[in-house]
Amino acid sequence: MIADDVACTEPRKLAPIATYKTLDVWRAIAAILVVFRHIGGTYYTDHYLYKPATPSLRTAFWTVIGCGGAGIWIFFVISGFCICHAACRCIARGTGTSVFLNARLRRIYPTYIAAFFLNLAVMSTAYYMVDHHLIRHSTTVSHGALNLSPYNLAANLTLGYHLFPGSDALLVVSWTLAYEIAFYVVTGAAIWGVKSELGLLYRLHAITLVCICCDLVFPGHTPYPFDLWPAFGMGVVVYHMIRDKSNVGAVRLGLYMLMAQALLILRSESLLSHTIYGDNALLIILFSGCLVVLHPYDRALMQQKALKWLAFIGTFSYSLYLVHLPITAATTALLKRVLPGHYIPVMFLVDIPLAVFFSWLFFVLVERHFLSAGAQNRMVEERAVTPGESSGEAQKATAQSSQVQ
C-alpha cells in the first residue's frame, strides 16, 4: 500500500527519446538558406542585378533569394527543441539552473567571440582596401570605419544589444544570438524549483501561450525577447509531442498551440506588419508539424546519401552561420573585379562551396573544442553520417545513439 501511494505521488515520467538525426539535415538547410540570402542580398543592393531574358525570370530569381530568411525561423524552432531537451536532462539528473546555463553559454560564447574577431579582421582589411581603391565599395563594405567604440564593443562582445541602445551589430547575424541567450535565461529560470520534466514543459508552454496572446492583442508591443519566443516555444511543443505521443493531453496541447498561431495568421495584414514573428507564423507552424510527422521515419531518411551529406554540414552549421559573412564578403569583392554583373549565378556557385569549406575549417580549429563531451562522443559514434561508411558501422553508430544534442 505504501509503495502504491508513493507511485501515485511521483510525477509521470516521459518516454526516453533517441537521437533525432535529421535535425542536423534541417540545420544545414537553414544555414545554407541564410548564406544564400546574404550573398544574394549583397548582389541585389549593390546593383549587380542578374537580368535574364524576361522580367518574370528576374522576379523569380530574387524571390527565391528572399526565401533565405526562412532559415532563421527554422533555427529558432530547432533551438527550442534542443534547449528543452537539455533542460529536461538537467532535471532528470538532478542538476540545476547554473549547470544548464553554464553549458549553454559555453556552447555559444567562445565560438561567437572567435568568429567576431575573425569578422573584425576581415572587415577592417576590406575597409582599408576600399579606402585605397583596391576593391569597390558596397553595402557590405563602404568608405569609413567600423564602429569600434568601447560602448559598441561591449554590446557586441556580450550580445547585449538591448542593454546598449543605439549599438550596431558588427557581425550581422549576431542579433539572433542575443535572442538565443535570452531564451536560455528564461528556460533556466523555468527550471528553478521544478520537480519533473512535465512541470518544466508546461511552464514553457504557458510562456508561449502568453506571448501569442500578447501578439494578438498588442501587436508589435511584446517586449524582447518574448516578441520572438513563440518560434522557440513551438520547438518545445514539438519536443513534448514526440516524447509523449501516447498521452492525449500532449496531442491536444499541440493542437491548441497550432490553432492559437493560426489565429495570429488570420489577423489583418496591417496588424501583422507590426511584428516580425507574425509574418512567419505559417512557416513556423508548417515546419513544426513536419518535425512531428517525420520523426518516426528518422532512421529511414538518414539512409539517403544526400541527407547524410547535409547532416554532415549540419554538424558545423553554427560555424557556417557565424563565419559565412566575412568569407563571402571577401570572395564577392574579389569576384566582382573579374566578373561582370550577369555572371551572378557563377558567383553563387563559387561563394557557397567556399563558405562551407572555410566554415568546416573554423569548426575543426575552434568550435569543436567547445562542444560538450556528449556532443563530441556522438560525433565519433556517428561517423556514418558522412557518406562512405559501411552499413555495419552505420548500424553500430545508430545503436549507440541514445540522446538528442
Q: What is the pLDDT of residues 246-270, one digit of tens each?
A: 777 777 777 777 777 776 666 544 4
Quick one: pLDDT at residue 259? 72
pLDDT band at 350 (very low <50, low <70, confident <90, very high): confident
pLDDT for 53 equals 45
Model confidence at 159: pLDDT above 70 = yes
Instruction: Give the separation between CA 127 and CA 289, rounded to whole angstroms.
Output: 45
Would you mind telling me the total number of residues written for the chain in this entry?
Answer: 405
SS3 content of the chain, % helix, strand, coil (to 5): 75, 0, 25
Q: How far is CA 72 from CA 29, 33, 139, 172, 173, in A?
A: 10, 9, 21, 13, 9
Q: Taking the mean position of all CA atoms in its chain, how far away is CA 269?
A: 26
Beta-carbon contacts of 345 under 8 Å, excluding residues fewer than 6 positions away, are 50
pLDDT-based confidence at residue 382 (cuts at 50, 70, 90) = low
Please tell me the least confidently modeled range out of 158-167, 186-195, 248-257, 265-274.
265-274
* pLDDT-wise least confident of 4-13, 133-142, 290-299, 320-329: 4-13
Q: For the residues 175-199, what does the mean pLDDT come to?
A: 93
CB contact at 8 A, 100 and 87: yes
pLDDT for 181 beyond 90: yes
User: pLDDT tens across 7-50, in order?
Assistant: 444 556 777 777 899 999 999 999 999 988 887 766 655 544 44
pLDDT attached to residue 47: 46
Q: What is the pLDDT of residue 278?
A: 58
Other CB atoms within 10 A of residue 173 CB: 19
- Crossing angle for the helix pair 174-191 and 70-93, nearest 10 degrees? 30
What is the 8-class DSSP label of residue 227?
T
Looking at the chain, the whole-number percentage of residues with pLDDT higher than 90 is: 40
Model confidence at 368, pLDDT cuts 50, 70, 90, reads: very high
Mean pLDDT of the chain: 79
- Please state which of the ranges 204-213, 297-306, 388-397 shows the lowest mean pLDDT: 388-397
* Percent of the chain topping pLDDT 70: 72
C-alpha cell at 50: 542578374
Q: What phi and psi values does residue 164 have, to the nearest 5 degrees? A: -125, 80
E strands, 266-376, where?
Answer: none
